[in-house]
Amino acid sequence: MALPIKPSSALNTFISRFLGKLARRKARDAGKSTEPSTTAITLGYWDIRGLAHAIRLLLEYTGSNYEERKYMMGDPPDYDRSQWLNERSKLGLDFPNLPYLIDGPHKLTQSNAILRYIARKHNMCGETEKEKIQVDILESQVMDVRLHMARVCYSSDFEKLKPGYVDEIPEKMRLFSAFLGKGPWFAGHTLTYVDFLAYDILDLHRIFEPKCLDEFPNLKDFITRFEGLKKISAYMKSSRFLPRPLFLKIAMWGNK
Protein backbone atom coordinates (compact mmCIF):
# COMPACT_ATOMS: atom_id res chain seq x y z
CA MET A 1 0.00 0.00 0.00
CA ALA A 2 1.41 3.37 -1.02
CA LEU A 3 2.03 5.83 1.78
CA PRO A 4 0.52 9.34 1.39
CA ILE A 5 2.97 11.94 0.26
CA LYS A 6 3.41 14.69 2.84
CA PRO A 7 3.91 18.15 1.36
CA SER A 8 7.06 19.90 2.40
CA SER A 9 6.92 22.70 4.96
CA ALA A 10 7.88 25.19 2.23
CA LEU A 11 4.93 24.07 0.10
CA ASN A 12 2.63 24.31 3.11
CA THR A 13 3.77 27.86 3.71
CA PHE A 14 3.25 28.81 0.04
CA ILE A 15 -0.27 27.34 -0.04
CA SER A 16 -1.20 29.04 3.23
CA ARG A 17 0.01 32.43 2.03
CA PHE A 18 -1.74 32.03 -1.34
CA LEU A 19 -5.06 31.10 0.26
CA GLY A 20 -4.72 33.96 2.73
CA LYS A 21 -4.17 36.49 -0.06
CA LEU A 22 -7.11 35.07 -2.01
CA ALA A 23 -9.40 35.34 1.02
CA ARG A 24 -8.33 38.92 1.71
CA ARG A 25 -8.87 39.89 -1.95
CA LYS A 26 -12.37 38.38 -1.94
CA ALA A 27 -13.23 40.19 1.27
CA ARG A 28 -11.92 43.46 -0.11
CA ASP A 29 -13.84 43.08 -3.38
CA ALA A 30 -17.00 42.14 -1.52
CA GLY A 31 -16.62 45.21 0.63
CA LYS A 32 -16.36 47.41 -2.43
CA SER A 33 -19.58 46.09 -3.87
CA THR A 34 -21.71 45.98 -0.73
CA GLU A 35 -20.64 48.85 1.49
CA PRO A 36 -22.76 51.98 0.96
CA SER A 37 -20.90 55.02 -0.27
CA THR A 38 -20.33 57.71 2.32
CA THR A 39 -19.35 60.31 -0.28
CA ALA A 40 -21.84 63.15 -0.46
CA ILE A 41 -23.57 64.04 -3.70
CA THR A 42 -22.47 67.45 -5.00
CA LEU A 43 -25.06 69.81 -6.46
CA GLY A 44 -23.60 72.78 -8.28
CA TYR A 45 -25.64 75.86 -9.14
CA TRP A 46 -25.85 79.62 -8.82
CA ASP A 47 -26.62 80.99 -5.35
CA ILE A 48 -30.28 81.44 -6.30
CA ARG A 49 -33.48 79.39 -6.29
CA GLY A 50 -33.84 78.99 -10.06
CA LEU A 51 -33.67 75.55 -11.66
CA ALA A 52 -32.21 73.98 -8.53
CA HIS A 53 -35.28 74.51 -6.33
CA ALA A 54 -37.07 71.28 -7.26
CA ILE A 55 -33.77 69.38 -7.12
CA ARG A 56 -32.99 70.61 -3.62
CA LEU A 57 -36.51 69.75 -2.49
CA LEU A 58 -36.20 66.23 -3.90
CA LEU A 59 -32.78 65.68 -2.34
CA GLU A 60 -34.18 66.74 1.01
CA TYR A 61 -37.33 64.64 0.70
CA THR A 62 -35.33 61.51 -0.18
CA GLY A 63 -32.90 62.07 2.68
CA SER A 64 -29.97 62.17 0.27
CA ASN A 65 -26.51 62.96 1.61
CA TYR A 66 -25.55 66.01 -0.43
CA GLU A 67 -23.58 69.21 -0.35
CA GLU A 68 -23.86 72.31 -2.51
CA ARG A 69 -21.34 74.22 -4.54
CA LYS A 70 -22.93 77.65 -4.99
CA TYR A 71 -21.51 80.05 -7.56
CA MET A 72 -21.94 83.79 -7.29
CA MET A 73 -22.60 86.14 -10.18
CA GLY A 74 -21.09 89.60 -10.00
CA ASP A 75 -23.01 92.84 -9.83
CA PRO A 76 -23.91 95.04 -12.82
CA PRO A 77 -22.80 96.18 -15.25
CA ASP A 78 -20.43 93.24 -15.83
CA TYR A 79 -22.33 90.41 -14.08
CA ASP A 80 -19.04 88.57 -13.67
CA ARG A 81 -19.41 84.77 -14.00
CA SER A 82 -15.77 83.84 -13.46
CA GLN A 83 -16.49 81.69 -10.38
CA TRP A 84 -18.33 79.25 -12.62
CA LEU A 85 -16.37 79.78 -15.84
CA ASN A 86 -13.08 79.02 -14.09
CA GLU A 87 -14.38 75.61 -13.01
CA ARG A 88 -16.70 74.49 -15.78
CA SER A 89 -14.06 72.70 -17.87
CA LYS A 90 -12.43 71.01 -14.86
CA LEU A 91 -15.38 68.95 -13.62
CA GLY A 92 -15.50 66.24 -16.27
CA LEU A 93 -19.02 67.15 -17.40
CA ASP A 94 -20.09 66.06 -20.88
CA PHE A 95 -22.11 69.24 -21.38
CA PRO A 96 -20.80 71.76 -18.82
CA ASN A 97 -23.71 73.74 -17.44
CA LEU A 98 -25.55 74.69 -14.26
CA PRO A 99 -27.06 72.96 -12.44
CA TYR A 100 -24.84 69.88 -12.33
CA LEU A 101 -24.84 66.89 -10.02
CA ILE A 102 -21.90 64.63 -9.20
CA ASP A 103 -22.61 61.33 -7.46
CA GLY A 104 -19.46 59.23 -7.38
CA PRO A 105 -18.72 58.22 -10.99
CA HIS A 106 -21.97 59.72 -12.25
CA LYS A 107 -21.86 63.30 -13.52
CA LEU A 108 -25.00 64.94 -14.84
CA THR A 109 -26.20 68.26 -16.18
CA GLN A 110 -29.70 69.35 -17.30
CA SER A 111 -32.09 69.94 -14.42
CA ASN A 112 -34.73 67.41 -15.44
CA ALA A 113 -32.13 64.70 -16.08
CA ILE A 114 -30.84 65.32 -12.55
CA LEU A 115 -34.35 65.05 -11.11
CA ARG A 116 -35.00 61.79 -12.96
CA TYR A 117 -31.68 60.35 -11.78
CA ILE A 118 -32.52 61.04 -8.14
CA ALA A 119 -36.10 59.84 -8.62
CA ARG A 120 -35.03 56.51 -10.16
CA LYS A 121 -32.99 55.75 -7.06
CA HIS A 122 -36.11 56.14 -4.94
CA ASN A 123 -38.79 54.72 -7.26
CA MET A 124 -40.42 58.11 -7.81
CA CYS A 125 -40.90 58.02 -11.59
CA GLY A 126 -44.34 56.43 -11.60
CA GLU A 127 -45.20 52.75 -11.37
CA THR A 128 -47.90 52.03 -13.95
CA GLU A 129 -47.73 52.99 -17.61
CA LYS A 130 -50.47 55.55 -17.05
CA GLU A 131 -48.50 57.18 -14.22
CA LYS A 132 -45.33 57.28 -16.31
CA ILE A 133 -47.22 58.96 -19.14
CA GLN A 134 -48.59 61.55 -16.69
CA VAL A 135 -45.07 62.15 -15.41
CA ASP A 136 -43.64 62.63 -18.91
CA ILE A 137 -46.38 65.03 -19.96
CA LEU A 138 -46.21 67.19 -16.85
CA GLU A 139 -42.42 67.43 -16.88
CA SER A 140 -42.50 68.92 -20.37
CA GLN A 141 -45.49 71.15 -19.66
CA VAL A 142 -43.83 72.65 -16.59
CA MET A 143 -40.68 73.37 -18.59
CA ASP A 144 -42.69 75.10 -21.32
CA VAL A 145 -44.40 77.35 -18.77
CA ARG A 146 -41.11 78.03 -16.98
CA LEU A 147 -39.39 79.08 -20.20
CA HIS A 148 -42.27 81.40 -21.08
CA MET A 149 -42.14 83.01 -17.65
CA ALA A 150 -38.34 83.31 -17.77
CA ARG A 151 -38.44 85.05 -21.17
CA VAL A 152 -40.74 87.67 -19.68
CA CYS A 153 -38.82 88.10 -16.42
CA TYR A 154 -35.42 88.36 -18.11
CA SER A 155 -36.59 90.69 -20.87
CA SER A 156 -35.59 94.34 -20.90
CA ASP A 157 -39.23 94.94 -21.94
CA PHE A 158 -40.54 93.28 -18.77
CA GLU A 159 -42.93 96.10 -17.86
CA LYS A 160 -44.49 95.98 -21.33
CA LEU A 161 -44.71 92.18 -21.38
CA LYS A 162 -45.97 91.66 -17.83
CA PRO A 163 -49.66 92.61 -18.39
CA GLY A 164 -49.98 90.20 -21.29
CA TYR A 165 -48.39 87.40 -19.31
CA VAL A 166 -50.65 88.07 -16.31
CA ASP A 167 -53.64 87.74 -18.64
CA GLU A 168 -52.42 84.29 -19.70
CA ILE A 169 -51.87 82.94 -16.19
CA PRO A 170 -55.51 81.86 -15.53
CA GLU A 171 -55.47 79.54 -18.55
CA LYS A 172 -52.12 78.08 -17.54
CA MET A 173 -53.44 77.42 -14.03
CA ARG A 174 -56.69 76.00 -15.39
CA LEU A 175 -54.77 73.39 -17.36
CA PHE A 176 -52.70 72.41 -14.32
CA SER A 177 -55.88 72.22 -12.25
CA ALA A 178 -57.63 69.98 -14.77
CA PHE A 179 -54.57 67.72 -15.00
CA LEU A 180 -54.39 67.32 -11.22
CA GLY A 181 -58.13 66.72 -10.93
CA LYS A 182 -59.14 65.20 -7.60
CA GLY A 183 -55.89 63.34 -7.09
CA PRO A 184 -53.54 64.16 -4.25
CA TRP A 185 -50.57 64.18 -6.66
CA PHE A 186 -50.18 64.89 -10.35
CA ALA A 187 -49.49 61.30 -11.43
CA GLY A 188 -52.13 59.79 -9.16
CA HIS A 189 -51.97 58.56 -5.58
CA THR A 190 -48.19 58.31 -5.44
CA LEU A 191 -45.77 61.21 -5.06
CA THR A 192 -43.38 61.48 -8.02
CA TYR A 193 -40.59 63.85 -8.98
CA VAL A 194 -42.89 65.92 -11.19
CA ASP A 195 -44.81 67.01 -8.10
CA PHE A 196 -41.64 68.84 -7.08
CA LEU A 197 -41.54 70.57 -10.47
CA ALA A 198 -45.24 71.38 -10.26
CA TYR A 199 -44.88 72.82 -6.78
CA ASP A 200 -42.04 75.04 -7.94
CA ILE A 201 -43.88 76.48 -10.95
CA LEU A 202 -47.13 77.03 -9.04
CA ASP A 203 -45.28 78.73 -6.21
CA LEU A 204 -43.43 80.98 -8.67
CA HIS A 205 -46.71 82.10 -10.16
CA ARG A 206 -48.37 82.82 -6.83
CA ILE A 207 -45.36 85.00 -5.98
CA PHE A 208 -45.65 86.72 -9.37
CA GLU A 209 -49.45 87.13 -9.14
CA PRO A 210 -50.63 86.37 -5.56
CA LYS A 211 -54.29 85.80 -6.45
CA CYS A 212 -53.66 83.50 -9.41
CA LEU A 213 -54.68 80.33 -7.55
CA ASP A 214 -57.81 81.69 -5.89
CA GLU A 215 -60.07 80.07 -8.50
CA PHE A 216 -58.33 76.70 -8.28
CA PRO A 217 -58.79 75.17 -4.81
CA ASN A 218 -57.26 71.84 -5.82
CA LEU A 219 -53.99 73.60 -6.70
CA LYS A 220 -54.00 75.45 -3.39
CA ASP A 221 -54.66 72.16 -1.60
CA PHE A 222 -51.80 70.56 -3.53
CA ILE A 223 -49.40 73.27 -2.36
CA THR A 224 -50.56 72.89 1.25
CA ARG A 225 -50.22 69.11 1.01
CA PHE A 226 -46.73 69.35 -0.48
CA GLU A 227 -45.47 71.89 2.05
CA GLY A 228 -46.94 69.70 4.80
CA LEU A 229 -44.71 66.74 3.96
CA LYS A 230 -42.56 66.20 7.04
CA LYS A 231 -39.15 66.48 5.39
CA ILE A 232 -40.22 69.35 3.15
CA SER A 233 -41.63 71.28 6.09
CA ALA A 234 -38.44 70.74 8.09
CA TYR A 235 -36.28 71.85 5.16
CA MET A 236 -38.29 75.03 4.64
CA LYS A 237 -37.71 75.94 8.27
CA SER A 238 -33.97 75.25 8.10
CA SER A 239 -31.07 77.55 7.31
CA ARG A 240 -30.39 75.51 4.15
CA PHE A 241 -33.62 76.64 2.51
CA LEU A 242 -33.12 79.22 -0.26
CA PRO A 243 -36.49 80.69 -1.33
CA ARG A 244 -34.95 83.73 -3.07
CA PRO A 245 -33.58 85.17 -5.32
CA LEU A 246 -35.87 83.50 -7.81
CA PHE A 247 -33.71 84.38 -10.82
CA LEU A 248 -30.23 85.68 -11.60
CA LYS A 249 -29.20 89.31 -11.15
CA ILE A 250 -29.66 89.98 -14.86
CA ALA A 251 -33.42 89.35 -14.57
CA MET A 252 -35.82 92.29 -14.49
CA TRP A 253 -38.02 90.61 -11.87
CA GLY A 254 -37.24 88.12 -9.10
CA ASN A 255 -33.55 89.01 -8.92
CA LYS A 256 -33.50 89.83 -5.20
pLDDT value of position 8: 53
* pLDDT given for residue 72 in this prediction: 98
Task: For residue 31, name the pLDDT band (cuts at 50, 70, 90).
Answer: very low
Q: Is 156 helix (H, G, I), strand (E, B) or coil?
A: coil
Q: What is the pLDDT of residues 34-45, one digit of tens each?
A: 334 468 999 999
Percent share of the chain, pLDDT over 70: 85
Beta bridge partners of 107: 102
Over range 123-132, report the average pLDDT: 98
Q: Give the CATH number of domain 41-121; options: 3.40.30.10, 3.10.105.10, 3.40.50.2300, 3.40.50.300.
A: 3.40.30.10
Domain parsing of the chain, residue ranges? 41-121, 129-229
Task: Give the C-alpha separation, 142 to 172, whole Å.
Answer: 10
Residue 86 or residue 17, greater confidence: 86
pLDDT tens digits for 85-113?
999 999 999 999 999 999 999 999 999 99
- How far lies 76's CA from each of 46, 71, 153, 173, 248, in Å? 16, 16, 17, 34, 11
pLDDT for 82: 98
Cα 108 from Cα 100, distance rounded (Å): 6
- Pick from 22-31, 159-168, 218-227: least confident: 22-31
Q: 3.90.660.10, 3.40.50.2300, 1.20.1050.10, 3.40.50.11810: which CATH number matches 129-229?
A: 1.20.1050.10
193-210 pLDDT per residue, tens: 999 999 999 999 999 999
| Strand, coil or helix: 97 | coil
For the entire predicted model, the pTM comes to 0.85
> Within the chain, how many helices (H) and strands (E) appear?
9, 4
